[in-house]
């Protein structure tokens, strides 16, 4: 794991992110030696939700994080990878923010690693990044992903070139490992 220590990762989120998909993935990347920054539409602290497996629903998180950068200040050239945590409202809000969609498009166009989990593939749909790609995501997004041109596969993690996708919080270990592997290459 020598390469990852020189890698810079951008995470992008706003209110409503799935807590473990942001914090656990971020920690796995930091533990592997990557430098991780968070961008959002605002610099005010953002909060997320926690998926409750038994209830089959999310509840509000009490854990907040302060973004490092505003979306409009992100220089894509400064980063090696983009990680998009899910949560229902986080990507649904971000896909309506032109700067967020443009960041995804730039990472895809520059063939950089892009990783999206749970509902975050909505950002890939909005950025027209799924045509001819293999991908996965949360169950309710699969038709959207297929309509956007993806071959949708029900696996914990799907890697198609530099595109990495996962379905849900339970897939975080496989998702984080795939990102680390991609960054260490």
Which one is catalytic: 26, 95, 119, 142? 119
Instruction: Indicate the burial class of 10 (C-beta count within 10 angstroms; 0-12, 13-18, 19 or more).
Output: buried
* Nearest-10 crossing angle of helices 172-184, 19-32: 40
93 Cβ contact list (under 8 Å, min separation 6): 14, 15, 16
Q: Two tokens at 110?
A: 């520059």
Q: Two tokens at 16?
A: 């409503």
Task: Give the closest residue to 83 by CA, choosing from 43, 156, 29, 132.
Answer: 29
- 15 has catalytic annotation: no
Sheet strands (E) in 21-136: 35-40, 46-52, 57-65, 69-70, 81-84, 113-117, 134-135
Query: Residue 49: which region, alpha, beta or left (left: phi > 0; alpha: psi -120 to 50)?
Result: beta
Which one is catalytic: 34, 101, 103, 118? 118
- 118 has catalytic annotation: yes
Torsion angles phi and psi, residue 94, rounded to 5: -65, -30
Active site residues: 118-119
């Amino acid at each position: 794991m020598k390469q990852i220590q020189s890698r810079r990762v951008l995470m992008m989120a706003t209110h409503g992110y799935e807590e473990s998909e942001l914090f656990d993935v971020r920690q796995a990347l930091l533990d592997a030696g990557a430098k991780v920054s968070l961008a959002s539409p605002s610099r005010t602290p953002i909060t997320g939700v926690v998926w409750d497996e038994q209830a089959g629903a999310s509840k509000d998180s009490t854990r907040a994080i302060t973004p490092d950068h505003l979306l409009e200040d992100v220089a894509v050239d400064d980063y090696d990878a983009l990680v998009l945590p899910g949560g229902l409202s986080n990507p649904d809000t971000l896909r309506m923010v032109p700067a967020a969609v443009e960041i995804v498009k730039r990472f895809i166009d520059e063939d950089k690693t892009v990783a999206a989990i749970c509902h975050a593939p909505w950002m890939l749909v909005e950025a027209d990044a799924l045509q001819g790609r293999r991908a996965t995501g949360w169950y309710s997004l699969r038709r959207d992903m297929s309509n956007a041109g993806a071959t949708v596969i029900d696996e914990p993690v799907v890697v198609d070139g530099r595109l990495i996708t996962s379905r849900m919080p339970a897939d975080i270990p496989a998702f984080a490992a795939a990102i680390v592997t991609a960054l260490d290459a």
